Structure formats: C-alpha cells, structure tokens
Amino acid sequence: MMNRATTRVLLAIAAWMIPLAFATRTRAAEEVPVGVAVVDITPGFPIRLMGYASRQTESQGVESRLKARAIAIGADDGDGPAILVAIDNCAIVRQITEEVAARLKKKVGVKRERFVICATHTHCGPALDNNLPFIFGKPLPADQAEHIARYTRELTDAIEKAALAALADRKPATLAWGQGEASFAANRRALKKGKSTGLGIQPGGPLDRSLPVLIASDSAGKARAVLFGYACHCTTLGGEFNRICAEWAGYACDEVERRVPGATAIAIIGCGADANPEPRGKLDQAKHYGALAGTEAHRLASSPSGLTPLPGRIACRIRRLELPLEPAPSRAALAERGKLPGSPGFFARTMVERLDAGKPIHTTVPYVVQTWTFGDDMAIVFLAGEVVVDYSLRLKWEIDSQRLWVAAYSNDVPCYIPSRRVLSEGGYEADSSMVYYGHASRLAPQVEDLIVDAVHAILPPAFDGPRRR
C-alpha cells in the first residue's frame, strides 16, 4: 500500500508525463505537405563516364537508368518548402547547384538555404563540366567535350524539372526517422606504420555503418517517400566497366520501391570517401549491396513504432567557407612535373601555362555547409566534397549520434575532404587525388576544424553537444 508521499510523487510524475505524451501524439499526427518526383537523367548518347582515369572511350551502353529523385517538404507560407534532389552521378558541381537554385528562387521563391542537391557518387555516371577536369590525363576531343557540355545543360534542366514537379506533387503527410545499419563497406586506406600504402582494405579501419531513413507517410500510414543514406563509395564496379549504371545506390532505390509499391525512394551518401564496397568488381555484387541497403531501409519504413516522429517545419541554414590549401609548388617544380605522363603531367603543364599568362594559382577551395533541422529532434548536415568518415564520427560524438545525420557529396564536389588524421597518413585522399580536381597542393591541416566549427555555428543551440572539442 502506498503512503501519501509516494502517492504525491507518482501523481507529480503523471502530471508531467501526461502532457508530454499528449505533445508526442500531437506531433506524431502533425501533417505537412510533402511531394516527390523522379526524372530520368540517362543520356541519350555516348559520353565519357566519370570516376576512373583508366577509361579511355565514351560509354558503351546503358546497364541501368539514371534518375534525379526529388522530395519537397513544407508549405509555401512561412520560410517556404525545403527541397532535396538526389542525382545518380559521380558528383554535383557548384555551378549547377547555384544555377538551379537561382531559377527556383525566381520562379517559385525557394530560398537558397532550403535547396540542396546530393550526388550518389556512382562511378558509372556521365562526366560534367567543371568537375575533375584533369582525370582523363589529356584534353578531350572536341566531340567528347561537346557531349559533356550538352549533358551538363540537360542535367541542369532535369534537376529543375524534378524540383518543380515535387513542389507540384505536395500532399499532406507525416514525417518520422530512424537509423538502421549496413555492413558491406570497408575502409579502403591500407596503412603501414601509420602511413598510407595505397588503396586496399584496412581491417578494423574507421567506418560509419549507420543507415538513416526519413519516411513521409500519408494519412493511411502508407509511405510516400523513403529517403535513406549510407557512407560508402558507389564503386562496386571498376574502370573496366564502361556502361552507364546507377550502381548500388540505384539498385537500393529499386529494392525499396519494389517492397513499398507507390513510394519514391531517394538515396544519398554519407561520409564514405575512404570506404569501398567489399568485395567488389562484379555487377551482381552491386545489385546485392543495393538489395541489402534497400532491405534495411524497408525494414525501418515498415516499423513505424520504432521511428521518431518529426515536426513538419524545417529550419534551414547555410554557410560558405574558403578552405586553405598548403603553398603551391614553384613554377620550376611544376615544369619538372610537367614531364610526367598522364594526369600529373597534364595538370602541371596547364598550371605552368597559367602562370606564364599572368594568372595566379588558387590558394583556397570554395566550400559550403548546409543544415536542415527538424525541431530539436533531428538534424541533417550536408557537407560538400568527398568527405572522409572522421567528420561524421566526430560530429556525432560532439553533438548526438541519435539526432544527427551527416551527408556528403552535397551542393558541390570540389575535391576530397580529408581529416587531420588522413592528412597525417598521406595517400590518395590527402594528396594524389587533388591533381584530378585541379588543385596544386593538399588542403591545410586546419580544414577539419574550420568545417566542424561551421557546422556547430549554424546548428541551433539544442544541438550543442557537451563533448565538443
């Protein structure tokens, strides 16, 4: 039998819990307009594929169709809707993002911070203007360059079309999110005595195995949109495969849509710049990894009781940075490097020509950080570039891994974004890859802190974690 003191305590707890439970139920039932759209972005002509320097010819057919998949969340009042478009491509470039953002601002008033483009990073997608300009090791023939320019224009129009179609498709929905896990990624930075020895497999190397999912459901509880992510390169297929293909991310979307008829699946990639699928090299493996990711996304989408309801209004913020590069080589050093074959020599000769024309070599890399926050319950951080896993692990440690989703390959892919650790180890992500992107030197060690500080600066105070360095 309870005494009076115990009774008072229990009544006080009940008085506190009942409004909380009511608020949770109210939030769970909160509706927000959500629209989705899918636009085919498969080129109708042969084109150089991006991702591997070893390919020497234009594409040889289509293995799977490429898509631009869009989701629009929110009404036109207040701050307006937030729009995400994910494209099956190795990258997205700043010029396309800003062009589409300007069109949407002019036509429908969408604010820049409320628009983001993410690339799935398939290495079997078309090359784009202003991306990895030196990867092919020599100037392209005029007809190949024109195919790339044509596709870049067509892709820009298709992304705008997808965004506008998603806006037009908006219907009442509720939002919820959760996190699963996938395990087909392996850290690819082989090390010996703390230094990189090339690309391979690092047993026990750092990874982000989380597979976050955001679900928009209609009034009957049926999923209309399933947005999910995973931190792993879309590099199951190697350079010898020269057909257009959406890779494991595309196959994952197919798996979700097969399991959830009527839903639109949208895949984005986390901080997996130093992770590859393993084993790799075969088309069946890409399909298998897609099935694994899609099955996990479906498991979460079909278990609403395990998801966290989200408020409908999204706060969006953006910050632009200039990431410093280490000092560039001298003209004499570049001239010497110009004797090298392939991309290193092509790049060095181009830089010498630039210097001789009186033009400086750039010393910084433009960079953008963007955040979407759903009340205090969840934040998505969008980072530009090929971001290594340390950024996701650090942000989740400093903030809250249960309320944070970190995506990369967002808005622009100017280069790899190595952490301080990766810079100290050296290797492809820190050094040799920079040539492909057109940078004369590696990023400076303070870059990690600059990016992390920018994320903290634009997240609301509720996301200030106690463990911040």
What would the mean pLDDT of 423-429 be, rounded to a whole number?
A: 97
Q: Do 223 and 337 fall into the same domain? A: no
- Within a domain: 125: yes
Peptide bond into 309 cis (omega under 30): no
- Within a domain: 288: yes
Q: What is the pLDDT of residue 100?
A: 98
pLDDT for residue 205 is more than 60 = yes
How much of the chain exceeds pLDDT 90, in percent? 91
What are 449-461's pLDDT values in tens digits?
999 999 999 999 9
Q: What is the pLDDT of residue 104?
A: 98
Report, in angstroms and rounded to the nearest whole number, the Rg of the chain calculated over CA atoms: 23
User: How far apart are the C-alpha atoms of 17 and 27, rounded to whole Å?
Assistant: 15
pLDDT bucket at 9, cuts 50 / 70 / 90: very low
- Within a domain: 377: no
Interior angle at CA 66, CA 286 and CA 129, nearest 5: 110
- Within a domain: 158: yes
Q: What is the pLDDT of residue 21?
A: 36
Q: What is the pLDDT of residue 129?
A: 97
The residue from 281, 311, 341 where one domain ends is: 311
Return all residues near 290 (Cβ < 8 A) that are at least 6 apart: 247, 248, 249, 250, 251, 252, 253, 254, 255
- Within a domain: 236: yes
Q: Do 279 and 334 fall into the same domain? A: no
- What residues does 378 pair with on adjacent strands? 374
Least confident of 5-9, 231-235, 242-246: 5-9
**In one letter, which amino acid is 91?**
A
The burial class, CB within 10 Å (0-12 / 13-18 / 19+), for 243 is middle
How much of the chain exceeds pLDDT 70, in percent? 93
Which residue segment(s) compose the domain that 338 sits in? Answer: 329-362
Q: Mean pLDDT across the chain, nearest whole number?
A: 93
Q: Do 200 and 342 fall into the same domain? A: no
What are 329-350's pLDDT values in tens digits?
999 999 999 999 999 999 999 9
Structural domain count, the chain = 2
Q: What are phi and psi of 189, to 5 degrees?
A: -90, 95
Q: Do 342 and 198 fall into the same domain? A: no
- Within a domain: 441: no
Q: Do 334 and 225 fall into the same domain? A: no
Q: Which residue has the tokens 């100037």?
A: 139
- Within a domain: 429: no
pLDDT for residue 19 is more than 70 = no
pTM to 2 decimal places: 0.93
pLDDT bucket at 17, cuts 50 / 70 / 90: very low
Q: Do 237 and 146 fall into the same domain? A: yes
- Within a domain: 211: yes
Residue 356, CA atoms < 13 Å, CB-side half-sphere: 9
pLDDT for residue 24 is more than 70 = no
User: How far apart are the C-alpha atoms of 385 and 61, rounded to whole Å?
Assistant: 28
Q: What is the pLDDT of residue 176?
A: 97
Q: Do 241 and 190 fall into the same domain? A: yes
Q: Do 346 and 203 fall into the same domain? A: no
Q: Do 220 and 333 fall into the same domain? A: no
Q: Do 232 and 340 fall into the same domain? A: no
Q: Do 232 and 351 fall into the same domain? A: no
Q: What is the pLDDT of residue 469?
A: 55
User: How far apart are the C-alpha atoms of 254 and 305, rounded to whole Å?
Assistant: 24
Q: What is the pLDDT of residue 29?
A: 52
Angle, helix 389-398 to helix 447-458, in steps of 10 degrees:
40
Return all residues near 383 (Cβ < 8 A) that are at least 6 apart: 271, 369, 391, 406, 407, 408, 410, 417, 451, 455
Q: Do 302 and 342 fall into the same domain? A: no
